[in-house]
Amino acid sequence: MSVSVYAVNSLKNYCLSKCRIRRGHQVYQEVCAACHSMSLVAFRDLIGVAYTEEEVKAMAADIEVEDGPNDEGEMYMRPGKPSDHFPSPYANEQAARFANGGAYPPDLSLITKARHNGQNYVFALLTGYREPPAGVSVREGLHYNPYFPGGAIAMPKMLMDGGVEYEDGVPATETQMAKDVVTFLSWAAEPEMEERKLMGFKVIFVLSLALIQAGFYKRWKWAPVKSRRVIVDVIN
């Protein structure tokens, strides 16, 4: 399908830019966070990746977090801190299912690793909504999406052109928002990916130099032996 081909070409094995991660976080905050949690991601994880420390502190302070107990043994509410994790939109799974007609919106912290071909799957799912073909019926409360197992999904189409207003002026088309939020989710699932790949590149580079040095040493060490002429005097 055309969506899958596009996703493979544009989302596989590319470097996650800070601007795209920041835009993807904005899409998550304004579109996805109303239903989906990211319980494994803390605000401070965004420092140096998409936001400055001051921006993250201001962002965290906008939420209220239950903490405690205090000296009187009671729980209390306080402003959020960078060490706090992203808040969940629901108190528990039962509340989430009740608000979504029995469907449970999954946590998105590891979604691109928890699904086969994760980046392509999420991108195709977000942009793959369409009218059901002839002969296919979808019960009330569900929406047709051929990229979701079974073809019927409780989540309605969430990405519309102009759905958010990017700070950097990039046109917020449906495809652009899908690419950006997939980039953000990919970073959230593997925040150490770029550092790990950079370390791997350094290791391979050093090993390559060592291999070249070993090759030259072998030639230098064994060249006199291999070039030595041995004469056998069979007469004497």
Distance in angstroms (rounded) separating the CA atoms of residues 174 and 181? 11
Question: Is 36 among the annotated ligand-binding positions?
Answer: yes
Question: Is 15 among the annotated ligand-binding positions?
Answer: no
Who's near 173: CB < 8 A, 6+ residues apart?
161
Question: Is 32 among the annotated ligand-binding positions?
Answer: yes
Q: How far is CA 153 from the centre of its chain?
A: 22
Buried b (16+ CB within 10 A) or exposed e, 106-134: ebbbbbbeeeeebbbbbbbbbbbbeeeee
φ/ψ of 173, rounded to 5, equals -80, 165
Sequence ranges of the binding site: 32, 35-36, 155
Binding-site residues for heme c, in ranges, read 32, 35-36, 155
